[in-house]
Amino acid sequence: MRLGMVIDRKRCIACYSCMISCKQSHALPPDMFWNRVLVSETGSYPTVTKEILPVICNHCKEAACVEVCPTGATTKREDGIVYVDADKCVGCRYCLVACPYQMRTYLSDNKKEYWPGQGLTELEKFGREVFYPLQEKTVVKCNFCIERMDKAKEDGLTIGIDREATPVCVNACPVKARTFGDLDDPNSNVSKLIKERKGHQLHHEYGTEPSVYYLD
Amino acid sequence: MKLSEWMVKPTPQTEWIDKRGILFWLAVFFIELGAGAFFVGTIFKSIEAMLIGWLICGVLGGGIHVLYLGHPFRFWRMVSKPGSSWISRGLIFISVFLVLGLIYMILTQVGSSSPILMILADLFAFLSIVYAGFAMNYVNGIALWNTALLPVLYAVSGLWGGAGLALGIALASGNVSTVGISVEEWIRVLLISYVVLLIAYLISVRYTNPTGKFSVQEIVAGKFKALTWFVVVLLGLVVPVTVVLISLNAGLENMPAAVLYFTILCELLGDLTLRYLILKEGLYSPLIASSAYPSASGY
């Protein structure tokens, strides 16, 4: 099994639902995004095109971050999810530098509040200390909602089909621009989309084999 | 940087140079300078250069490197993946060098130094010098770093800096006529190699991809041009070349000590600044093309 995602750029409307739902479900501090929506313009008047690119950790098959991690904190699971074991991370940030997609973040301060100077609200405290505690001075990143995947396997749910077995950013997308599933299964929804719509990866020239594909 | 600008144009790496990243820059410089001085010290039998180099590498370089970590007390975990991680290898190289170097210095002082031990200590000193170059070279997302010339440039600059430091120590300890003259011969060769390598490095990066070209442009003619031309080129290269040419005619022992000290300081400052620029201008290619940077489509 190799979990992966397909993002249809033609459908994406840059509503930022993926960013917000991810931020909310992982109780991320200010300035930290595991999901991002990049927006830019190409061309010049009168033929200007607005480019939208939602980005997320690519959970690469040949992940540079896994190779460079000196402690083995960043590892790749059998289902293809690249995750960080915070207890092993020393915070050297080599993985951050080595990732050509810059999808990792160093969590220097998990006490940073959304309302500066007023301390953490009860909701923020609950989120960061109980609901989704992250370890300070370590590197964090998207984990394809690993806890949902693990629960889904226990409960016998179908990954990418059942809502409880699908990352929150996929569920939150109002235009269904995101699809999640098993890339190794030729009959999965993601594999079919990639084949039919000629899905491609970001910066394939780096040889990292990203598990996130894009449809143009 | 606004969120909308992130990765739609060349994005600089910040982790190894901004804020606490400054520690990484300094750590690499001191490790290479110290290991270089030890290496040169063993060749020319200068215990002072060996000891000061060992201290700079271990205490300053190693200490700052550990301080840079988010969890310094977990640093021992970093040796667990030498098979794939250059940081793991680097920690092993530096640790082994520090142990072997210390034993070698002690044995030298008691009069029973072993040439095999010296070769091993020098080997690990050299590996400590080149490790950061390889660690950076491995990052294929940054064109300025992803070139085989970078580790070579770092190796030469580490040895050159070490030789300069060894010369300064020889001057201070009154060993100009014995150690100093021999070290200066090394400096001449290393200086020429450094200049040639630096030019070759910048030219080769310029032709890798648009981001590499942009990085080189930023260094040579961009926001850091004053640092490049005044500190790296004028102080770091022109001053040492001029002094080496003068000393070729006048003889090193006839050169005023103040001029030599100033030259060594310029050399180290130039080297440190170049390393800063290489870290600062380490740019990632954009993920999507933008009007601000239309030539580097991410696909």
Residue A140: which CATH number? 3.30.70.20
- Say whether pLDDT at B290 is over 80: no
Q: What pLDDT is stored for residue B189 in this prediction? A: 94
- Say whether pLDDT at B180 is over 80: no
Min CA distance, A190 vs chain B (Å)?
A: 20
Cα distance between residue A115 and residue B145, in whole Å = 40
Is residue A214, in this structure, part of any structural domain at all?
A: no
Is residue A151, in this structure, part of any structural domain at all?
A: yes
- Tokens encoding B164: 């300069």
Parse chain B into domains and list their residue ranges. 7-284
Confidence of residue B3 (pLDDT cuts 50, 70, 90): low
Confidence of residue B184 (pLDDT cuts 50, 70, 90): confident
- Contact criterion met (CB < 8 Å) for B285 and A202: no
Can you give the pTM of this predicted structure? 0.93
What is the tens place of the pLDDT at every residue in B228-261?
999 999 999 999 999 999 998 888 888 899 999 9
Q: Of the ranges A19-28, B179-188, B267-276, which one carries the lowest mean pLDDT score?
A: B179-188
- Say whether pLDDT at B296 is over 60: no
The A residues from 114 to 133 touching B (CB cutoff 8 Å) are: none
CB-nearest to B291 from A44, A67, A207 is A44
- Say whether pLDDT at B2 is over 80: no
Strands A212-215 and A3-8: parallel
Q: Which residue has the tokens 């699971």?
A: A77
Is residue A76, in this structure, part of any structural domain at all?
A: yes
Share the mean pLDDT of chain A: 94
- Contact criterion met (CB < 8 Å) for A38 and B4: yes
**Would you call B288 an interface residue with chain A, using a CB distance cutoff of 8 Å?**
yes
- Tokens encoding B248: 């070729």
CATH superfamily of B7-284: Formate dehydrogenase/DMSO reductase domain (1.20.1630.10)
**Would you call A138 an interface residue with chain B, using a CB distance cutoff of 8 Å?**
yes
In a 13 Å sphere around the CA of B227, the CA atoms on its Cβ side amount to 17
CB-nearest to A90 from B3, B11, B78 is B78
**Would you call A72 an interface residue with chain B, using a CB distance cutoff of 8 Å?**
yes
Domains contained in chain A, number: 1
Confidence of residue B293 (pLDDT cuts 50, 70, 90): low
- Contact criterion met (CB < 8 Å) for A36 and B3: yes
- Contact criterion met (CB < 8 Å) for B88 and A106: no
Min CA distance, A61 vs chain B (Å)?
A: 16
First-to-final CA distance of chain A: 25
Residue A183 belongs to what domain range? 3-202
Cβ contact A81:B121 at 8 Å: no
Cα distance between residue A191 and residue A176, in whole Å = 16
Q: Of the ranges A130-139, B143-152, B284-293, which one carries the lowest mean pLDDT score?
A: B284-293
Q: Which of B1, B2, B3, B24 would best serve as a mutation to test chain A binding (most A beta carbons within 10 A)?
A: B3
Is residue A208, in this structure, part of any structural domain at all?
A: no
ipTM: 0.91
Q: What pLDDT is stored for residue B179 in this prediction? A: 78
Confidence of residue B299 (pLDDT cuts 50, 70, 90): very low
Cα distance between residue B248 and residue B86, in whole Å = 40
Q: Which of A16, A85, A90 would best serve as a mutation to test chain B binding (most B beta carbons within 10 A)?
A: A90
A117: left (phi over 0), alpha (psi -120 to 50) or beta: left
Average pLDDT over residues A172-194: 96
Is residue A211, in this structure, part of any structural domain at all?
A: no
Min CA distance, A90 vs chain B (Å)?
A: 5
Is residue A156, in this structure, part of any structural domain at all?
A: yes
Residues B97, B100, B103, CA angle at the centre, nearest 5°? 145
- Contact criterion met (CB < 8 Å) for A48 and B87: no
